[in-house]
Amino acid sequence: MSSVRIARNDTRAVHSRSIVVLKPSHPLIRKLKRDLPTPCIHGDKVWDSSWLLMDELRRNPPPKKGTLMDLGCGWGPLSVYAAKKLKQQVIAVDADDGVFPYLQLHAQLNGVEIETRQRRFEKLKRSDLDGVHTLAGADICFWDELTPVLFKLIRRSLKAGVERVIIADPGRDPFYQLAERCEKAFNARVVERKTSKPKLALADLLIVEA
């Protein structure tokens, strides 16, 4: 796949961590929005905690040529980073297939290939998780009803052989409820992270290891 170059001085794009991510004002994004239905489950932008999740994966990278599953992938910045910089085989999962054209646009811009699957979290089976080393997601625990769903998914993933689960969140109550349950049941911890690039952002990371 050949990449399409975006000028570094284009203010409608973000160049950070060796990837390029388009802002909603970019003509390519605006064209998708004109031509396609709007994603309906909060997949309409890039969430800040994605950058902090990338930083954690840079500090503690998964094995090269491993498989990383990006939960609630949205426009795909985490997927792109994992494929481009960490040399991962990436499976990008979202309940809303309306996000995949945006993800594939970013994959093309960054010269990577990413597999996509439309799944709700509760529909991910152990067979879907076989061979996955890292399960990661940014801003995915935003409703109370997602806390038990994600807890069960983490439990299934560990039983399926997943080595590490990382979920980043800016500090919502459902996330902290999930973290508390995981700390009691698994080898889990919460760490606070901060970045100033591409803009100031704070997030907590729930890290669960086998």
Structure tokens that stand for 17 in this block: 């961590």
The residue with tokens 């930083």 is 55
Mean pLDDT of all residues in the chain?
A: 94
For the chain, which residues make up each domain, given as ranges? 13-209
Residue 4 has pLDDT above 70, yes or no: no
Do 119 and 125 contact (CB within 8 A), yes or no?
A: no
Could you read off the pLDDT of 25-37 as tens digits, one per residue? 999 999 999 998 7
CATH topology of domain 13-209: Rossmann fold (3.40.50)
pTM for the full predicted model: 0.94
Neighbours of 176 (CB within 10 A): 16
Burial 47-57 (b: 16+ CB within 10 A, else e): bbbbbbbbbbb
**Residue 89 DSSP SS3:** strand
